[in-house]
Chain A
């Protein structure tokens, strides 16, 4: 199913630190088209930071990230990297969408306006075309009935589904999910996971930082377990959940599965 020829995202030797504090120590990972990768691990292990580095919401200290022929390089390695990275990031962001834990819908715009904003402003798509696409996407996530509502009027689950539609409207090749269900009331988790499952089935490349072990084991092709700034387990859900190699992962699973 997955194209194993050339990775769509290739991370080499990536490290990230805030001053003295090293958050990511050495990350090497290749992600291929169509893969659904769940990134799991304890809090503070660097999962979210890793994800945020991929679309340059965070600078990386050293190493490099290649996405679609664009490269982001560590800022400690050369002075001009910052400028070059910003340029690369602009290209990368065209193909890499992101869904956030806090949804981050724009409260001063309606649901529909949230979805058409970037296609119109960035891709210069005509309003009627943008609206047509947006309504299709909203229908896909079950939110077409709320097109004229403002985000604060919606439940968390509804907001997150709109946020997914907003990301899809830019037609990305990869979507990064940063704990997309962690801020939701339990009753709304299912509806968001269902939308994500639909995307996975349709072949979308997804990297999902999550605490939903059910989703990680059922939906993803691949699970990465992170701890202390390293990816210490990387394999199929079967391999990682059933036969973790590291003690750290064994400990983590025994704790969360006991709950």
Chain B
């Protein structure tokens, strides 16, 4: 009970940490969606040499993202951005690292969705005179996003669940906040339980929102 009291005392700080977690994740998710969509469009290119090169690079990128630890990716991005002379805050580096990671996964998810769209869908639009970008924006992607929304949702949740790793860049998100308070107060378990509950509420809440959206559609 003492522990709970301590946790409650620090509610404002914890909520601030939660705010950072939500903000960082939301930003990363939006950027990752853009990256993932762009990558999947670039991968549609034909068989000309330039588009084969682009597709090769994307393939390597996606393999890298999938087959190396997120933590290592975060360190690499942080250091690489510094080496490139970009004087970015840890926060911005963190968002970029999460976005690049998730963008690779989303590109794969969208690719799966694209294969589920029959060729006739785009042919009908093309035969009516629609331009390629319009076909993608009006006919293809609305259907793809509907098909892959379960996988996208779990990827979004994954971003939230990976975000504690940003604490290594000294970003004071929810987990980092808890760790700080633990060293200050010597109360341990109650803080971890508290943040677990908060993560659960955010992730499960996101899932529910998506479900409701789906029902409406």
Are B129's CB and A94's CB within 8 A?
yes
In the docked arrangement, what's the CA distance between A102 and B129, Å? 19
A93 near B143 (CB under 8 angstroms)?
no
Decide if A100 touches B128 in the complex (CB within 8 Å): no
Q: What number of B residues sit within 8 Å (CB to CB) of A?
A: 18
Q: Provide the residues of chain A in CB contact with B123, threshold 8 Å.
A: 57, 100, 104
Closest Cβ of chain B: how far from A75's Cβ, in Å? Answer: 13
- With A117-B138, A121-B138 known as contacts, the answer to whether A106 contacts B121 (CB < 8 A) is yes
- Whole-angstrom distance between the alpha carbons of A170 and B125 in the complex? 12
Measured between C-beta atoms, what is the minimum distance from B49 to chain A in Å? 14
Contact (Cβ within 8 A) A104 B121: yes
Q: Shortest CB–CB separation between residue A68 and chain B, in angstroms?
A: 13
Flag if B143 contacts A118 (CB, 8 Å). no
Q: Specify which chain B residues have a CB less than 8 angstroms from the CB of A90 in the assembled complex.
A: 129, 131
Q: Mark B124-146, 1 if CB is under 8 A from A, else 0.
A: 11111111001000110011001
CA–CA, A104 and B143, complex, Å: 13
Which chain B residues border A167 with CB–CB below 8 Å? 128
Chain B residues within an 8 Å CB radius of A117: 138
Which of B120, B125, B127, B134 contacts A97 (CB under 8 A)? B127
Name the prevailing secondary structure of the B interface residues.
Answer: helix
Nearest chain A CB to B217 CB, angstrom units: 9
A98, CB-defined interface residue at 8 Å: yes
The reply on B85 being an interface residue by CB < 8 A is: no
Q: Are A108 and B129 in contact (CB under 8 A)?
A: no
A61 within 8 A of B: no
Q: Taking the nearest CB of chain B, how far is it from the CB of A26, in angstroms? A: 25
Task: Tell yes or no: B118 within 8 A of A by CB.
Answer: yes
| Selected contact of A166 from candidates B121, B128, B142, B143, CB within 8 Å | B128
* Best-surrounded residue of A55, A93, A108 (most CB of chain B within 10 A): A108
Instruction: State the Cβ distance, A49 to closest chain B Cβ, in Å.
Output: 13
Count, A-B residue pairs, CB within 8 A = 56
B129 contact from A105, A118, A163, Cβ within 8 A = A118
- Central interface residue in A90, A96, A121, A166, by most chain B CB within 10 Å: A121
A259 / chain B contacts, CB cutoff of 8 Å: none
In the complex, A58→B146 CA distance in Å? 29
Q: In chain A, what residue has the closest Cβ to B146?
A: A108
Contacting pair B142 A122 (CB below 8 A): no
CB-based contact A100/B124 at 8 Å: yes
Task: Closest B residue to A166 by CB, please name it.
Answer: B128
Whether the Cβ atoms of A106 and B126 lie closer than 8 Å is: no
Contact A122 B126 (CB under 8 A): no
Residue A44 lies at the interface, judged by CB distance under 8 Å to chain B: no
Q: Known: A121-B134, A121-B138. Contact between A170 and B128, CB under 8 A?
A: yes
**When A107-B143, A121-B134, A121-B138 are in contact, do A102 and B120 touch as well, CB less than 8 Å?**
yes
CB A91 to nearest CB in B, in angstroms, measures 9
Q: Give the chain A neighbours of B121 by CB distance below 8 A.
A: 104, 106
A98, B130: Cα distance in complex, Å: 13
Q: Which of A96, A104, A121, A122 has a CB less than 8 Å from the CB of B124?
A: A104
**The 3 residue pairs across chains A and B that have the minimum distance between CB atoms:** A104-B124, A104-B120, A98-B127
| Chain B residues at the A interface, C-beta cutoff of 8 Å | 118, 120-121, 123-131, 134, 138-139, 142-143, 146
What are 29 A-B contacts with C-beta separation under 8 Å?
Answer: A90-B129, A90-B131, A93-B126, A93-B128, A93-B129, A94-B129, A97-B128, A98-B128, A100-B120, A100-B123, A100-B124, A102-B118, A102-B120, A104-B118, A104-B121, A104-B123, A105-B124, A106-B124, A106-B125, A108-B143, A108-B146, A117-B138, A118-B129, A121-B130, A121-B134, A121-B138, A122-B130, A122-B134, A166-B128
